Amino acid sequence: MALSSTVFTFDIDLADGDRAVYEHLALRVARHPSESDEFLVARVLAYCLEYQEGLEFSRGLSDADDPPLAVRDMTGGIRAWIDVGTPSADRLHRASKAAPRVAVYIHKEHTQWFAALAGAGIYRSGSIEFRLIDRSLIAQLVTRLERRMSFALSVSDGDLLVSFTDTSISGAVTRLTVT
């Protein structure tokens, strides 16, 4: 018997001063049984940091050719491919050909992966946006992860502040460049 996805509900008050985005987000996010809590939290943070009209979660891990997050136009074409983790060079190559904008949110150890990307033949590699989410922020959010969560997320100069009713957690998102 196959395991089914677990649905998480997030109510997030987003105040992104860097992009002047102020929204209340009510998200229902399915976590595939093979997906880690860290990946789920990183996907939700990436959604918040990329929030704009047309942004959507993918159909899931069952469709490996889809990005975890995408911005699509009215015809269904991908305008922005937002990946999470450490995708392969081949995947980034395909993404760069499929979308005019590609961003990757990294939530785990990445130094060897990053070094390998430097020598890979990736289409428009210089235009890919790499952002490292503070690993301690991810770890702290994972310890608080519940099926229903509410929090406020403030973003200012790349610093993130996640506020719950009883505490706050902070961390940063750092831009990286492949050399």
pTM beyond 0.75: the answer is yes
Domains and CATH numbers, the chain: 7-176 (3.10.640.10)
> Could you tell me which of 164, 138, 139, 140 has the C-alpha nearest to residue 153?
164
Are 107 and 84 a contacting pair, CB within 8 Å?
yes
For the chain, give the percent of residues with pLDDT over 70.
95
> Could you tell me which of 54, 71, 67, 46 has the C-alpha nearest to residue 155?
46
Write the pLDDT tens digit of every residue in 83-115. Answer: 999 999 999 999 999 999 999 999 999 989 988
Write the pLDDT tens digit of every residue in 42-76. Answer: 999 999 999 999 999 987 655 667 899 999 988 98
